[in-house]
Amino acid sequence: MSHPSAEPPPHPPGRSRRRRVLQTIATVVGTLLVVAAVAAAVIHVPYVIESPGAATPLTSQVVTVSGARTYQHRGQLLFLTVQVTTSDPNLYSYAFASLSSDDAVVGKQDVLGCASYAADARLNTLLMDDSQNAAKEVALRRLGYPVTNTGDQALVLDIACGGPSDHHLQEGDIITAVDGHPVSSADDVHQAVVSLAPHAVVHLTVRRGTQTVPVTVHSGRNGSAAFLGIITQTLTMWHFPLDLRINTQNIGGPSAGLAFTLALISALSPGDVTGGRPVAVTGTINPDGTVGQVGGIPQKAITAQRSGAVAMLVPSGQERDARGAAPHLQVIAVKTVDDALAALHRLGGVPVATGTPLASPSAQ
């Protein structure tokens, strides 16, 4: 005996149509999300991201001295770094950094100018070497050691975008001759260039890394004189009576110069210049002992506060940015190494005797 089978009633036509529309929308949205995710990972934007870095104690493993008695102290001088992207970030990194209160997102040209990442890295390596040499010179002179200048070099510090030297010279180049005439300082380069007529063809000899290369630049006009559209800085080399070494591994740039100076003075002084406490330090150092401003102050202040430092020494004029980023940290502005040593003394450190001149960049 057979029984009639029951069949479900057909769906109303409107419901089936809505389901198909919703499925289509879901497919389109899913596809768009996948495309957006891939694009965010693949598309790179011309920005530099600066993030808080490390606070590194300048211990005897970092700063070593041979040829004189050295001293170990309970206190620590901390040099501060900033993590900086070394290639254009993708959209993910850019978005996350833009939403972070710790990070700074800066236009690539504002940071690098016309330089490539490779040229910028080479420049920062040279600036780190120069900051270490200046720190050694200032520290030893403060402590009464004789220091001898053994020569200078003319470093290309910056290049005007679209200027005569753009795409010819690179940041980090060392200019050794102008039209066959040897030069050894920023002033030498300046005098050689301004003595030329505008729109002259200038033949430069340049040391770029380990290579010596000829570079030809068609000069521009600055009034009645020629100009190359570059900023140069004199790198000074010294003979030191002691063997001083500072191991910063792959860190570049000049901003730890003041910290290195104070660390060397501390290592060669019987008294604890920090009073047994951790003090963070940032700022460049000039051969006359003056302190120069640095980049990434907010990120460095955040790092200093997180490190547990009791105070942070910063270049004069940058204390407001540091305090804004690290409101619970004591920030002390200094103009010279003497100011820095006096500040350490006020924090409880043992005073150190001091005293000494300056070289600033010149534009061509």
In a domain, 66, yes or no: yes
In a domain, 115, yes or no: no
In a domain, 181, yes or no: yes
Cα–Cα distance measured from residue 323 to residue 312, given in angstroms and rounded to the nearest whole number = 10
Counting Cβ atoms within 10 Å, is residue 306 exposed (0-12), middle (13-18) or buried (19+)?
Answer: middle
Specify the CATH number for the domain of residue 172: 2.30.42.10
SS3 of 222, please? strand
Asked whether residue 139 falls in the same domain as residue 258, the answer is: yes
| Band (94; pLDDT cuts 50, 70, 90) | confident
pLDDT for 266 equals: 95
pLDDT for 362 equals: 44
Largest distance between two CA atoms of the chain: 120
Asked whether residue 213 falls in the same domain as residue 293, the answer is: no
pLDDT for 179 equals: 95
In a domain, 11, yes or no: no
Asked whether residue 231 falls in the same domain as residue 300, the answer is: no
- Torsion sign across C-alpha atoms 213, 111, 87, 102: positive
Asked whether residue 271 falls in the same domain as residue 179, the answer is: no
pLDDT for 7 equals: 58
Asked whether residue 276 falls in the same domain as residue 215, the answer is: no
pLDDT digits (tens, 9 = 90+) for 242-258: 999 999 888 999 999 99
Mean pLDDT taken over the chain: 89
In a domain, 34, yes or no: no
Cα–Cα distance measured from residue 248 to residue 265, given in angstroms and rounded to the nearest whole number = 18
Residue type, 133: N
pLDDT digits (tens, 9 = 90+) for 25-52: 777 667 766 666 666 667 888 999 999 9
| Band (2; pLDDT cuts 50, 70, 90) | low
Q: Alpha carbon of 23 to those of 12, 14, 33, 36: distances in Å?
A: 17, 14, 15, 20
Q: How many CB atoms lie within 10 A of CB 131?
A: 26
pLDDT digits (tens, 9 = 90+) for 260-309: 999 999 999 999 999 999 999 999 999 999 999 999 999 999 999 999 99
Assess whether pLDDT exceeds 50 at residue 361. Answer: no
Nearest to 112 by CA among 93, 92, 88, 94: 88
Weakest mean pLDDT among 2-6, 69-73, 244-248, 347-351: 2-6
Cα–Cα distance measured from residue 77 to residue 276, given in angstroms and rounded to the nearest whole number = 10
Domain that holds residue 163: 148-239
pLDDT for 363 equals: 47
Residue 94: partners with Cβ closer than 8 Å, 6 or more residues away: 45, 47, 49, 105
pLDDT for 18 equals: 72
- Torsion sign across C-alpha atoms 345, 351, 352, 355: positive
SS3 of 165, please? coil
Count of domains observed in the chain:
2
pLDDT for 91 equals: 84
In a domain, 56, yes or no: yes
Weakest mean pLDDT among 96-100, 175-179, 241-245, 312-316: 96-100
Q: What is the mean pLDDT of residues 212-239?
A: 93
- Domain boundary at 239, 264, 287, which? 239
Residue 328: partners with Cβ closer than 8 Å, 6 or more residues away: 305
Specify the CATH number for the domain of residue 72: 3.30.230.10
Identify the H or E element spanning 272: none
| Band (15; pLDDT cuts 50, 70, 90) | low
- Domain boundary at 239, 255, 283, which? 239
pLDDT for 107 equals: 93
Rounded to two decimals, what is the model's pTM? 0.85
In a domain, 96, yes or no: no
pLDDT digits (tens, 9 = 90+) for 302-358: 999 999 999 999 999 999 999 999 999 999 999 999 999 999 999 999 888 543 333
Give the chain's length.
364
Is 326 within 8 Å of 299 (Cβ atoms)?
A: no
Q: What is the mean pLDDT of residues 58-68?
A: 93
CA angle 78, 286, 83 (to 5 degrees): 40
Report the percentage of the chain scoring pLDDT > 70.
88
Nearest to 298 by CA among 326, 327, 256: 326
Is 116 within 8 Å of 93 (Cβ atoms)?
A: no
- Domain boundary at 186, 215, 239, which? 239
Asked whether residue 287 falls in the same domain as residue 301, the answer is: yes
Is 84 within 8 Å of 48 (Cβ atoms)?
A: yes
pLDDT for 360 equals: 39
Asked whether residue 320 falls in the same domain as residue 271, the answer is: yes
Asked whether residue 250 falls in the same domain as residue 209, the answer is: no
Assess whether pLDDT exceeds 70 at residue 359. Answer: no
